[in-house]
A and B are shown apart, each in its own frame.
Chain A
Amino acid sequence: MKAEPVSGSLSRAFFALLRRDLLLAFRRRTELLFPVIFLLVVVSLFPLGIGPGPQLLARIAPGVIWIAALLATVISLDGLFRSDFEDGTMEQFVISGHPLTLISLAKIVAHWLVAGLPIVLLSPLLALWMNLPTESLGVMMLTLVLGTPILSLIGSIGVGLTISLKRGGQLLSLLVFPLYVPILIIATAAVMASSDALPYTQFLGLLLAGLITSLTLAPFAAAAALKISLS
């Protein structure tokens, strides 16, 4: 059956959902903090495990920070649609007649604000721990600003596909890590180039292109995946 929205505009629905998701994230603060603490713990383990050699740490810093960011994102991803899926809210979204693409996009934006933005904001601290040269810090943050939304966007497709499985979280990581590899390579290449005083803008351009592509395509794919999971 084709349902139509009773009335009201799509942007209003978008912001209502975004506000609700942020409110819910704030109410479940422990879930909010866990990926962030995980990120801090993972990065802090590297100087302990490898030894405090400033040169070596500086060399591996971009890779370590980015891998930790990937892991922290994947941990938080499973919650992106799960609670709405399990308590029947997703069915209500379908019936509302609002496009599922818009709903996915609102939830992805909320996920980035809650899980991606803290990584960007904490990156100066992580860079300090890893002895990253201060002149590379700006590039590091830029790659995170451009890259972490891509992680949320691509991840949402995987979440949509695995949401109907009871232990979907484990499959999810296998599904999305290969897709994260190009972002990891490009982002770390940019930071390393900048610490070697080489040009790095081409890498940032690639990340920006990736962001635009995934922003325009991923919500559609996530909505299609959700529809499959619902039936």
Chain B
Amino acid sequence: MLSVSDIVFERYFQPVFQPVSFELKGSELLLVTGANGCGKTTLIRVLAGILHPSAGKIGDLTGGMAYVGHYLGIKDDLSVLENLRFIRDFLGTSNRSCSELIRHVGLTRVAEQQARTLSAGQRKRCALARLLVSEAKLWLLDEPYSNLDQEGVELVDRMLSDHLGAGGACVLATHGAHRPDWAGTIDYHLVSGAAT
């Protein structure tokens, strides 16, 4: 689904991480771990196409991708429901109803509230619902467990196993406090700095 060979990203002519290569197929989870500042977020953003790699090649992707990063992309002045409806209309996906997805991520009680009134964990759940709205084959998750309570962590794991079980793939960056339980997990330890 996603093949990456020797990608390097340079910031001010300094490589952020050592060259990254991997091959990801359907139903596989790439778990990117590493210390703070080793370039996990940068790698995810390169994979997402927001940043362009300085060297190396990323293969074409079919089936679309969805991304949840540190900035969640939720509009404060819209309600949870309006946020998701916009994403649905914008992407042109409409197979599942937005209120059903909101129930799935446990936000039914606050669905009509403006997003500015939500807690950090609730906002994260709203962003996770966007993954489901997008119906993308590849998920790029940057620290999806941050700000979530135990129930939220379980929700992410459940969503992940549903997604991977249905043939999707996922690249997940985490500093390693919790790791999802999935048989097809490939561990990737990211190291900062230039190639050695």
Chain A: residues with CB nearer than 8 A to chain B?
Answer: 1-9, 12-13, 15-17, 19-20, 23-24, 27-28, 83, 86-89, 91-92, 94-98, 230-231
Contact = CB atoms under 8 A, between A and B. Distances in A.
Contact of A97 (B52, B64, B72): B64
Given A1-B59, A5-B92, 14 more contacts: A1-B48, A1-B58, A4-B61, A5-B64, A6-B64, A6-B134, A13-B89, A15-B89, A20-B82, A91-B69, A91-B73, A94-B48, A94-B50, A231-B52
Interface string B48-74: 111110000011111111110111111
Contact of A27 (B49, B66, B67, B77): B77
Interface string B67-104: 10111111111100010001101111100000000000
B65 A3 contact: yes
B64 A16 contact: no
B67 A92 contact: yes
B58 A91 contact: no
A83 B76 CA distance: 10
B135 interface: yes
A1 B66 contact: no
Contact of A231 (B51, B61, B65, B91): B51
Contacts of A6: 63-64, 91-93, 134-136
Contact of A24 (B45, B66, B70, B75): B75
Contact of A87 (B48, B67, B73): B73
A16 B67 contact: no
The secondary structure that dominates the A interface is: helix
B129 interface: no
A27 B76 CA distance: 10
Contact of B78 (A1, A4, A12, A24): A24
B75 A88 contact: no
Contacts of B136: 6
Nearest to A8: B92
Contacts of B128: none
Nearest to B59: A1
Interface in B129-155: 130, 134-136
Nearest to B89: A16
Contact of B48 (A28, A89, A91): A91
A95 B91 contact: no
Contact of B75 (A3, A5, A89): A89
5 contacts: A16-B89, A88-B71, A89-B73, A92-B130, A230-B50
Nearest to B51: A231
B11 to A, nearest CB: 10
Given A1-B60, A231-B52, A87 B93 contact: no
Contacts of B64: 3-6, 97
Contact of B89 (A12, A87, A95): A12
Contact of B61 (A2, A5, A96, A98): A2
Interface in B152-176: none
Contacts of A23: 78, 82
Nearest to B140: A95
